[in-house]
Amino acid sequence: MMKVQLRTLHKRRLAATVIFAVCALTGWQLLAQENPVAERLSVAELMNGLITPATNTIWGAYQLQSEAEWQAVANAAITVLAAGELLAQGHADSKRADWQTYNNQMLSAARAVLQAVADKDKEQLSAVGNDLLYPPCESCHQQFQN
Ligand code: HEC
C-alpha cells in the first residue's frame, strides 16, 4: 500500500517536472518569437534622434549654475556615448578603420565632457566641445556622408 502511494507520488512529481519544462520551453520560444531582435536604428536616426539633441545641449551649455543644469550636460554626454556604441557596429561603414577612429574620437570627447562636468570646469567644457567633440563630426561626414 505504502509502496504504491510512493510510486504514484514519484510519477506525479516527474510529470509535474516534465510539464514545467515543456511550459518553460514553449514560453521561452513564444517570447523569442514575440520579441525579435529590435530593428537596428539607422545612422540618420541616431544622428537626428540622439547625437544632434545631445550635442546641442553640450554646445549650448552656457553659464551653468544649478546641479540640474550640470547634470543635463552629463546626461547629454552619456547619450553621445550610447549612440557611439550603436554606431560602432552593424552599419554600412562600421567596419572601416576611419569610421572607428572618428567614432572613438567622439566617444573620448564625450568622456572628456563628463570629466569637465565632474570638475565643474566651464572653460574646459567649452574647450572640449570645440576642440574634441566637433572635429570628429566633420571628419566622419566628409568621408562617409553622401
Ligand atoms: C562615425 C561617423 C560619424 C560621426 C562621428 C558623426 N556622424 Fe553624423 N552622420 C554620419 C553619417 C554617415 C551621416 C549620413 C546618414 C545618412 O544620411 O544616412 C550623418 C548624418 C548626420 C546628420 C544629418 C542627418 C540626416 O537626416 O541626414 C546630422 C545632423 C549629424 N550627422 C550630426 C552629427 C554630429 C553633430 C556629430 C558629432 C557630434 C556627428 N554627426 C558625428 C556619420 C557620423
Give the pLDDT confidence score for residue 39 in this predicted structure.
Answer: 83
Give the pLDDT confidence score for residue 42 in this predicted structure.
Answer: 96
DSSP state letter for 47: I
Cell triple for 123: 572653460
Per cent of the chain over pLDDT 70 is: 74
Cell triple for 21: 519544462
Cell triple for 8: 504514484
From ligand 1's centre to the CA of 52, what distance in Å?
Answer: 8
98: which residues sit within 8 A by CB, 6+ positions away? 139, 140, 143, 144
User: Does ligand 1 have an atom closer than 6 angstroms to the CB of 110?
Assistant: no
From ligand 1's centre to the CA of 20, what distance in Å?
Answer: 50
| Stronger pLDDT, 59 or 21, i.e. the higher one | 59
Place of cell 500500500: 1
From ligand 1's centre to the CA of 89, what distance in Å?
Answer: 15
Average pLDDT score over the chain: 87
For ligand 1, atom 36, which residue shows the shortest CA distance?
Answer: 137
